[in-house]
Chain A
């Protein structure tokens, strides 16, 4: 089109010259895009180990490597190789801190890692198999992934597992000393004292792995479990839980696999996933079949501040007064938890009051005894655990979901635990722990029942009534009761009060209640009152926790008839729930929402799917086609 224009001869060459930078620019851009294509893998596997031990040598130059352990063990297993490919062995035991060789500095450590990892990849690659990243592909390993913690669960022993371990090792290894040990400072060695075994984390508390430099030992020193590291002897803390657990457990499992008879060996887990994968339903281990682990624990105990508590009455016996001691059914509670450390959270199996004093102290982690027992959102406190149970079990959650989180709600409930019949602290100090235990057992038997009535004083059969009157003057009337009268009187005064049982209440309540309020667009609801009360009652009947705390038979009603005193004739919903969004009480639901929220939320919590919340006709028929009535 522009052929009429003559271009200068010089400019033709120059024009080509300027095109080159342009082409290079475009190519650079393309390369840039290609190289930086999104290469993050979401770390969602429980076997990812973050190799960040180079931190010991100073700030990291590249991000730590997220190492997929199970993947590697699988590949190696496919080649017939085991742990020895990467982990050194000392005296038949593997050291699971990687390589365990000594490295003086950053460069050496880096070379060591690269020599181990990349050389293996190169071997794989050169044999035509798919391999991990090779030299030069630094960022394929050193990339910022976000490890998804939701699929990773910390592993540990619980009562069921412990019972299994005991079963499998009883014949071969015999004593508890196979795993349980304690450090004897006198002999500078690890010994086992029968009957005083503790959880591992009682001493091995540190969670994080120790940095590389502090783990280096020369190969000829003893490295296998149990090992006393030079650092510990020098006064540092014992090795971290993660390290000792793998050293002890995995090595033993490996041995078990090889030596156990009847193919039982395969039960011992060695892959990361088999211990660390968070399962959807962590509860539900077979507690019922686990025999009670006897370690000299009492069946019952009295919980009160110890005699050495700075605040106890012994310091100031005249003026100090404390809450009554709590009789605690230890045997019953053992069946309700997975492991001892659910409550004895330091794995030390001591009484709570050893560390938690009346006033918060360093030893108790600045948690006072009151907080340790009563904090509602802790997993370790009494109230916290009780609350968790009410919210996590469908048969309880239907009513308890409406409860207020704040505590104390009702100080009348304190005496359920703090038994008024408990002895005074002065007395407690003089009792031995065995005596206290026996006393606690007795108190537990009589808990909740009305205290025995005091003996009646002798009733007078003859007495005189004195009257002073202005008109008639002072009069006296001698009274003499007949023996029938006396018997009748005695009977009335000693009669046990009537105890209403929930079952009786249910018998007497209406079968269905027709809710006709607001029946405008939608018809009345025939509410199966008795059936619902009955199913709630059944959920409570066998549960010891419910029996302990549902003191009044009307507690059954208070799940729905809430915010009102317990009564056989509790108020209807409309007593308090009227128009919504009022100025005085903006947070209170209107009547329609109160009905629906109570029913639907209870169904949701109790995992009742029929009737579905959105199935209006299951409960009431729609009478009109429009739902808004105040428009034309």
Chain B
């Protein structure tokens, strides 16, 4: 039994590892996203940290009034992240000299292949044709897996809501851009640090800016390839990690990280029953054969015993018969002898 179980497990493990092999053969292609999808280019060398973008976002999205007003620049002294009341925040960094700050605006990056959309089990996120990644609160169950999945740590949750909590995330003002208007932050920015347009145009523009002023920019467009590419692109004059942008995310999109393993699911469903059923039937067969053999052995042993018993019985009966006959003969002899002796007595 021990051996059987071991072999069964080994076979199952083998099937498991084979089935695990990621089915990436057909997924080496890079997904470029919908054609003419829009994006936003943020130029950190233009941003002055005035927070008008935050105010613009607040105005067009009907967000709650913040604790401190938007022209209070002292909030920049501590690092903030988008939360349940703000889709976007500006942060201040001092990457080089102590008195030269660089500002960066943080919001959803509207990835080409979003992790949030891939991870949502009710498909509450959609990457629209326009490029925006939008969230549908009417189906959201509140599992918060999208918050786990997002590599940029963007989605925020209204934990304080008891009945209908929801995710809060920048929408790239999808309704506005559908009407041909600009997103709130882009419209508000006085320095055009945010440029709105088709993503491929923005990439051309960014490359052109780098070419024209190579001393001003780091020769890299953040978001061109990170996590498979995002619709929100960044240019900077200082290394991106000094602005709180992670440069170790790699270029594999989030869905590709899980597609291999997910492809194994139908394999398991197909192979496991066959394997286990096979083991069961083999086991059953073995048991059946074992019990049959046992039965046969018992039957033959029984028959042998019975035969022996019968022979024994016959022998005993014969012996008894013989003895009986001998006794009768003896009695006859005795009677004859007695009769003879009595005859003799009468004669004398």
Contacts and interface: CB of A to CB of B under 8 A. Distances in A.
| Direct touch of chains A and B (CB < 8 A) | yes
Given A627-B59, A628-B184, A597 B191 contact: yes
A613 B103 CA distance: 13
Contact of A587 (B59, B190, B208): B208
B60 A596 contact: no
A405 interface: yes
- Counting contact residues on chain B (CB < 8 A from A), the size range is 20 to 34
B195 A581 contact: yes
Main secondary structure of the interface of A (DSSP, over half): loop
Contacts, number: 58
Nearest to A587: B205
Given A405-B212, A613-B48, A627-B188, A586 B201 contact: yes
A596 B197 CA distance: 21
B59 A597 contact: no
Contact of B60 (A580, A586, A628): A628
A616 B189 CA distance: 12
B192 A590 contact: yes
Nearest to B196: A581
B131 interface: no
B217 to A, nearest CB: 12
A593 B48 contact: no
Contacts of A590: 192
Given A581-B195, A600-B191, A614 B208 contact: no
A282 to B, nearest CB: 15
Contacts of B209: 587
Contacts of B187: 628, 630
Contacts of B192: 580, 589-590, 592-593, 597
B205 A596 contact: no
Nearest to B73: A614
Interface stretch (B49-57, B269-277, B283-291): B49-57
Contacts of B46: 597
A492 interface: no
A581 B182 contact: yes
B5 interface: no
A404 interface: yes
A596 B191 contact: yes
Nearest to A609: B99
B213 interface: yes
Interface residues of A, number: 22
Interface string B241-275: 00000000000000000000000000000000000
A628 B191 contact: no
A361 to B, nearest CB: 28
Contacts of A597: 46, 191-192
B55 A627 contact: yes
Query: A405, A590, A628 — which one has the most chain B CB atoms within 10 A of its CB?
Result: A628
A627 B54 CA distance: 11
A631 interface: yes
A628 B196 contact: no
A57 B91 CA distance: 52
A294 interface: no
A12 interface: no
B181 interface: yes
Interface in B188-216: 188-192, 195-197, 201, 205, 208-209, 212-214
B191 A586 contact: no
A458 B56 CA distance: 75
Contact of A614 (B49, B181, B196): B49
Nearest to B197: A581
A600 B60 CA distance: 27
A626 interface: yes
Interface of B: 46, 48-50, 52, 55-56, 59-60, 71, 73, 181-182, 184, 187-192, 195-197, 201, 205, 208-209, 212-214
29 contacts: A404-B212, A405-B212, A405-B213, A406-B212, A580-B195, A581-B197, A586-B197, A586-B201, A586-B205, A587-B205, A587-B208, A587-B209, A589-B192, A592-B190, A593-B189, A596-B191, A597-B191, A600-B48, A600-B191, A614-B48, A614-B49, A614-B73, A616-B71, A627-B55, A627-B56, A627-B59, A628-B188, A630-B187, A631-B184
Given A592-B192, A628-B60, 7 more contacts: A405-B212, A580-B195, A593-B190, A596-B191, A597-B192, A627-B188, A631-B184
Interface of A: 404-406, 580-581, 586-587, 589-590, 592-593, 596-597, 600, 613-614, 616, 626-628, 630-631
User: Which 7 residue pairs spanning A and B have beta carbons closest together?
Assistant: A593-B192, A613-B48, A596-B190, A614-B50, A628-B59, A631-B60, A628-B56
